[in-house]
């Protein structure tokens, strides 16, 4: 019987529930947790969660640093929810938007000792759902959590199925068709769908490159503001079009368009980061204040797509050494790094300088 959900399907359902403000169960061998997203949980549900036991607000070490909370667990801190904390306090701890107006939300009492694995899994789930990485967590005996999930028909996932760095999803080509492009009429768009229910990614192939030779390739991450709206805050739009021009002129090559908006944090969080940048923080600091790493992308996706298309060697258009390294790790030989130096404006020179200084980009 295959009617029941497998682990990958249960994770996809749990991500979706968290986005809607529902609770989910994470089941470990002895203990389990009821988990809700600080960003989406309705006030009434927070009250119900409280009635079950002690509530922790799990935040990342980056967010803890901003809030001056001690992160005894290394990569995260388990803040004990104060008895008088209302939903506004929870949201403000998760979201740095009002940090400057409301700086004294603490002092934060954080837990020390014990096993933070359930909290770590909760944060990983929220990140993969593109929500702020702040999770409300109540830890109880696993049997009790399983019973609550059963009674209230909540999604439940096994702790062992939520690894901190998920395995690279398997991508399947779903559809492909000819799309004549301005840069070259021999264009073809292929759509790849990950098996884990996350976003689809696209490959634009120009011509029919020989699979036995290195392919000219741009590995591009989605940027709604730069690619579509012509934003001057970044260099994405000009890079996208320069890469397409170069591939079109060469007569063959591949543009991989990965739907990893905002370096993998999603557009809502990227706009939160932009609002922080308007307060004076740089692109990396803004991500950290939100609780994210400076780059949350999984470049293994691009390498998987290229391999599925039959390529083994690549001439990669990028200024980002991490992209080169990841291709190599995934078994694709980068025979050449082709620089893409376009799109510098007075609005983005600070952004480009920060990427060079803090993220190792080549200027």
Query: Residue 110 binds which entry of Zn ion, ligand GTP, none, with Cβ cut-offs from 5 to 8 Å by kind?
Result: none
Tokens of 167: 């395995």
3-class state of residue 360 by DSSP:
coil
Of the residues 60, 95, 260, 304, which one makes contact with ligand GTP according to CB under 6 A: 260
Which residues inside 344-363 make contact with ligand GTP, applying CB under 6 A?
361
Tokens of 117: 């694995």
Of the residues 236, 244, 255, 316, which one makes contact with Zn ion according to CB under 5 A: 236
Whether 295 is catalytic is yes
Label residues 278-313 b or e (16+ Cβ within 10 Å = b).
eeebbbbbbbbbbbbbbbbbbbbbbbbbbeebebeb
Tally Cβ neighbours within 10 Å of residue 170: 13
Of the residues 145, 162, 223, 340, which one makes contact with Zn ion according to CB under 5 A: 223
Q: Shortest gap between Cβ of 141 and ligand GTP (angstroms)?
A: 39
Whole-number Å distance between alpha carbons of 106 and 83 = 13
Q: For residues 119 and 220, which CB has a smaller minimum distance to Zn ion in the complex?
A: 220
**Residue tagged 């012509």 (tokens):** 230
Q: Which one of 13-21, 61-69, 82-90, 217-225 is the stretch in contact with ligand GTP (CB under 6 A)? A: 217-225
DSSP, res 299? T
DSSP, res 362? -
Whether 70 is catalytic is no
Verify binding: residue 222, ligand GTP, rule CB under 6 A.
yes
From residue 300 to residue 319, the character string flagging contacts with ligand GTP as x (rule: CB under 6 A) and all else as - is: ------------------xx
Tally Cβ neighbours within 10 Å of residue 134: 24
Q: How many residues does the chain have?
A: 363
**Residue tagged 């893409």 (tokens):** 340
Query: Active-site residue among 190, 297, 300, 337?
Result: 297
Q: For residues 55 and 265, which CB has a smaller minimum distance to ligand GTP in the complex?
A: 265
Binding site for Zn ion (CB under 5 A): 223, 226, 234, 236
Residues with catalytic function: 295, 297
């Amino acid at each position: 019987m295959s009617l029941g959900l497998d682990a990958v399907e249960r994770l996809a359902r749990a991500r979706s529930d968290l986005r809607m403000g529902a609770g989910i169960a994470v089941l470990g061998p002895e203990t389990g947790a009821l988990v809700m997203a600080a960003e989406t949980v309705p006030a009434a549900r927070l009250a119900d969660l409280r009635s079950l036991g002690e509530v922790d607000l799990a935040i990342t070490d980056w967010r803890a640093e901003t809030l001056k909370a001690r992160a005894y667990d290394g990569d995260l801190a388990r803040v004990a929810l104060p008895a008088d904390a209302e939903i506004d306090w929870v949201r403000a701890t998760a979201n740095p938007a009002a940090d400057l107006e409301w700086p004294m939300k603490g002092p934060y009492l954080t837990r020390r000792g014990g096993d933070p694995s359930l909290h770590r899994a909760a944060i990983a789930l929220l990140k993969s759902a593109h929500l702020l990485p702040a999770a409300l967590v109540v830890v109880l005996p696993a049997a009790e959590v399983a019973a609550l999930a059963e009674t209230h028909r909540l999604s439940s996932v096994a702790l062992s199925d939520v690894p901190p760095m998920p395995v690279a999803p398997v991508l399947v080509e779903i559809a492909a068709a000819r799309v004549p492009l301005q840069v070259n009429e021999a264009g073809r768009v292929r759509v790849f769908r990950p098996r884990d229910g996350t976003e689809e990614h696209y490959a634009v192939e120009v011509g029919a490159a020989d699979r036995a030779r290195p392919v000219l390739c741009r590995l591009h991450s989605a940027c709604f503001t730069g690619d579509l709206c012509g934003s001057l805050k970044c260099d994405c739009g000009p890079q996208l079009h320069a890469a397409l021009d170069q591939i079109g002129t060469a007569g063959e090559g591949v543009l991989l368009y990965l739907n990893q908006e905002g370096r993998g944090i999603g557009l809502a969080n990227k706009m939160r980061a932009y609002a922080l940048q308007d307060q004076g923080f740089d692109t990396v600091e803004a991500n950290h204040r939100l609780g994210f790493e400076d780059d949350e992308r999984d470049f293994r996706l691009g390498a998987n797509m290229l391999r599925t298309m039959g390529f083994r060697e690549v001439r990669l258009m990028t200024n980002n050494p991490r992209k080169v390294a990841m291709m190599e790790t995934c078994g694709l030989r980068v025979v050449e790094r082709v620089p893409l130096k376009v799109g510098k404006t007075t609005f983005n020179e600070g952004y480009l300088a920060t990427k060079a200084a803090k993220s190792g980009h080549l200027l």
